[in-house]
Structure 1
Amino acid sequence: MISEQSVFIVDDDASFRNAVQRVFRSAGFRVETFESAAAFLSGYQPCDEACLILDLRMPEVGGLELLERLRQRQIDLPVIIYTGNADVPVTVRAMQTGAFAVVEKPFSDELLIERVRDAITSSRMRRARNATIAEARAKLAGLTEREREIARCLAEGFSAPQIGAQLGISARTVEAHRANLFRKLDVTSIATVAQLVLWADLGDG
């Protein structure tokens, strides 16, 4: 996996492609260019810190179609589309398909660089959030069904006697389950259990 920040440029216009490449290389990015959607799909190597910049209108496969193919292949990469005519229907469709932004030509180099940096930052934060959700759900999945019930009750602020009354078991049994789930989750406080439950629930949103 490539760790440095990368920019992928897809455009059938070689002169424009090269111009954008110079802009981003001078700004410190690693840059790869592709003359078509097909070339990108066959040559793309996944990386964590990256952004795809692509032209809306290209022969054979246009920007929106490429964006849809990326989503179908579950390629998690922020995308900025640029066009000479960013009308409302095109912009709406691009955003609904998953584009981070739509930029209308002519645009300044500074604006494009800023959009790319924003896209990479947003993608990084989203990946971190998803990783936290996945970790919380995996930890809770390691509990028994009863332990998960008690974990949720603890997260809602119920005491052992209240949980026991709700579940039809004794407070002592609740405390035994609580000790077990604390051990399995490797936590020492109800607050941490509540955080795990919250993150796991976010995964359903």
Structure 2
Amino acid sequence: MSGDQSVVIVDDDDFFRKALERIFHSAGFRVESFASAEAFLAAYIPKEEACIILDLRMPRIGGLELLDRLNERGIDVPVIIYTGNADVPVTVQAMQAGAFAVVEKPLSSELLIARVRAAIAETRAGRTRRIQVAAARAKLKLLTEREVEVARHLTEGRSSPEMADILGISSRTVDAHRANLLRKLEIKSIAALTRLFVLAELGDS
């Protein structure tokens, strides 16, 4: 599986950069490496199944500033900061900026590879969930305001007569709204409807 995954190394230290290249090549990853943040920014093309490893302290543009640049560009690739001194303030700052992890040199090859695989897997899961959330919200936008009200009552287990009393409409009208909303959403069960609402509301709390 690693053969479909990429590791990108940005480190001005030739020794560490080449050592990381060997480690990840041996583990079956595709590897790109850059000796400076500037070279990386000029040439890097984002890939979905990837992880970026940044050295914290580099000339001109360091790892944290480069992480900020990635965020500004909306690049959705996990970043691991690699440093010789992972003190608490730096670690906090990096994590707040969105780094997946901060690790100290030297770290065993096995642990570093495990971190990279975890970063790629977690990001893939998050990306899949964001797609699901966006799709659920788009579907629910197809409903009228009244259909949304009926749908919410359905997910709360209310019957047509109960909804009719609450909404001030007839049971027949409730049933018509129910049929319409299920048709629009292309679903057949209340369980599927509930899942749509749960997905659509993720991240809103």
Smaller-chain TM-score bracket:
over 0.9
Where does the alignment leave 5 or more consecutive residues of structure 2 unmatched?
A: none
Q: C-alpha distance in 2, partners of 1:189/1:146?
A: 19
Partner AA of 2:46 in structure 1:
P
Q: C-alpha distance in 2, partners of 1:115/1:159?
A: 50
Q: CA deviation at 1:89?
A: 0.5
Residue 53 of structure 1 aligns with which residue?
53
Query: SS state of the match for residue 46, structure 1?
Result: coil
- Is the contact made by 1:134 and 1:203 (CA closer than 8 Å) also made in structure 2? no
Residue 125 of structure 1 aligns with which residue?
125
Partner AA of 2:193 in structure 1:
V
Partner AA of 2:45 in structure 1:
Q
Partner AA of 2:49 in structure 1:
E
Query: SS state of the match for residue 178, structure 2?
Result: helix
Q: CA deviation at 1:15?
A: 2.3
Partner AA of 1:139 in structure 2:
K
Q: Indicate the percent of aligned positions where both proteins have the same amino acid.
A: 65
**Residues 109-147 of structure 1: CA distance to partner in whole angstroms, max 9, x if unpaired?**
111101000100101111111111111111111111211
1:7-26 superposed matches below 5 A:
7-26=7-26
Q: C-alpha distance in 2, partners of 1:43/1:150?
A: 52
How well do the aligned residues superpose, as a CA RMSD in angstroms? 1.2
**Residues 11-60 of structure 1: CA distance to partner in whole angstroms, max 9, x if unpaired?**
11122211101110110000000111121122111211100001000011
Q: 2:166 matched to 1:166?
A: yes
TM superposition outliers: structure 1 runs of 4+ over 2 Å: none
Q: TM-score, normalised by structure 1?
A: 0.95
Q: CA deviation at 1:203?
A: 4.1
Q: C-alpha distance in 2, partners of 1:38/1:163?
A: 61
**Residues 143-197 of structure 1: CA distance to partner in whole angstroms, max 9, x if unpaired?**
1121112111111111112222222211111110110011111111111111101
Q: TM-score, normalised by structure 2?
A: 0.95
Residue 112 of structure 1 aligns with which residue?
112
